[in-house]
Structure 1
Amino acid sequence: MRKFWVSLLCFILLLAMNVAPASVSAAGGDFRNIYDVKAGDTLWGVSVKYGTTVEEIKASNGLVSDLLLVGQRLWVPPMYEVVAGDTLWKIAAAYNSTVPLIVTTNGLSSDLIMVGQKLKIPQKRLAMQGQYILMTRDEFKDWLFHNRFTRKMGKIQEHHTYQPSYKSFNGSNHFGLLKGMEEYHVHEMKWKTISQNLTTFPDGKVAVCRPINMAPEGSFAFQNPAVRDEIESDSLTIENVGNFDQGGDGMTEAQRETIVTVAAVLSMKFGLAPSVDTITYHHWWDMNTGERVLDNSSGHSVKTCPGTGFFGGNSTESARTNFYPLVLRKMQELRQ
């Protein structure tokens, strides 16, 4: 435990460092495929500059609106000149693209490329449906670091869905489950849209749900909306699909890795050091009044969420012993 707190203090000293990934450098030169948004930029203007479309930029960057913020970073399709040793696979890997996309975009009849040949490098499209953006954890990391947000973030809320559980997930119905949750939240709970900002799945995918610039809704203080709004104004809510009470779903390794990674990159992005104040469990809050009771839940209305089996348990001691060290370790790993 002492080693953990020493590591945590060392990490705090590093929080001021720039967490955004460096622009990708291609095998053949310094052609950039990341564009830094400047004052006055529009999606249409950027699309014209790079010979693409607004729709393609939105699909490549997981954008659900045309709004751009200064300092935001966009994947864009650069022109690339082939040099000795290049292969389509190497170029695709360096430029956030795929071999089939490059072949199709450039009308190539095979994977053979020649030194001096110029190629337009299209960007991979993210899986999107309405406001939902479904990503791998690596795609989410890039998406998060590329974006700018206008809302202050002070705490990450960890939840489990309980229902839907693993039995509801068939490996491809991510959007269907999200839409079902949205319909319940809107029609039954009378919230504006789906409550949570992010959702993780058993296969390790993560979805952006409620826009991150919009505070979550629901979760706390059902009997006191003013307290609820205060608690959630600087919160970001994560729903982890599954029933993680003891005897429920056995968390997959893929989802476990994603839950840790998502907490890590969010902490890096928003300058949070893992603690009971910054990564909080739903179980630690009175559901009706919004009082933070931590482990003193006797006499209070609390849920087991995110589960009595969530990384060893839902107590503060379990979080400090089992969850926060994993998040801190992942943050250090990502900085290397």
Structure 2
Amino acid sequence: MIAREAATIPHKWLAKLFTEYGTEAADELKATVATGRIARAAAACRQIALTVPHPDDLTTDALYAALGAGGLQRVSPMITYMAEVGAVRLDRARIMNQIEEDRVMQVLVAYGEGPHRSLLNRYRNDFADRVRMSVTERTAITAAVDLLAELGDAPLAKLSQLHLKRTLHKGPEHRDALQEFLCFIAAQGGPILALPMPSRAELAANKKWQRDATTWRKRLEYPASSREARALIAVLIARLYALPLSRVLTLRREDVVFTPAGVTLWPKADALILEEPLADAFDKGMRQHCYWSLPMGQYLLGDEGGMLIISEAMVAKHLTDAAKYRRMFSKPGFRRGRP
């Protein structure tokens, strides 16, 4: 199969790289897993060959341009292998920034060339100059687009508390991001608006989140399985720090370091410091299931010993399955003990 797939890759240097990777994967993995991984890698190499004719042209930007975010994720073991053997100098922080930049552009493209597009562009430039984390920029642009969508084609001077109220009703999670945009609008000479008090629905949603967070932290003390532990850690980090769950799930071993300030994520990019008690729970969860021993390049919250990224749907399944397990052992007739 490896030889057959390699024959379909037009550049010899790339076919050789694929063959070496495929041979290693076939030796280390079960046949059913290796077959799918090799097929995905071959398809990716054919795609890369379309825009990367020479090995010196194989860069982080070239890989992203050829495969995109989804494609890179599907063949992440091969990309890691390419970096390990020196075929490419992979800049993971740059990839994450490119992904976020693309998502911001998707939001702007979806908005279209409306009457307030120039305002959005100015806001984006202003926000990018002030904020370090591009994920925060995406949240801010999304909230701004939602508010301007309520305004429609009317001039900015017509923006009112009613538009703001409607936007908050549809997306109460954007409250903080809307505050940033309102300050920008006022500085641009637009109307001065104030966020209304949180509605009952917002307060109820916030209380539910607090209850969920408390429940998840307690479950993390004695998880039913290593999968539940990783799922709980992922959702807690994502929710507490307003990060996309998909980004948290791509955490690699080298993306987490211990500093005098505590546990730091993405030290070379965002340098996000986990606060207690999550930092301690994160450390204990990783130690209990030996994930600190993973080699560099492996996914800290992944499956198959860190080789595969778990999906957001799989996280939800792990949490649901673990909840069923706990309910079963809480019924009369079962001896309840530490899972």
**Does TM-score exceed 0.5, indicating one fold?**
no
TM range (shorter): under 0.3
TM-score, reference length from structure 2 = 0.27
**Which of the pair has more CA radius of gyration?**
2
Structure with bigger RCO (C-alpha 8 Å, 6+ apart): 1
- Tell me which protein shows more strand as a share of its residues: 1
- Tell me which protein shows more helix as a share of its residues: 2
TM-score, reference length from structure 1 = 0.27
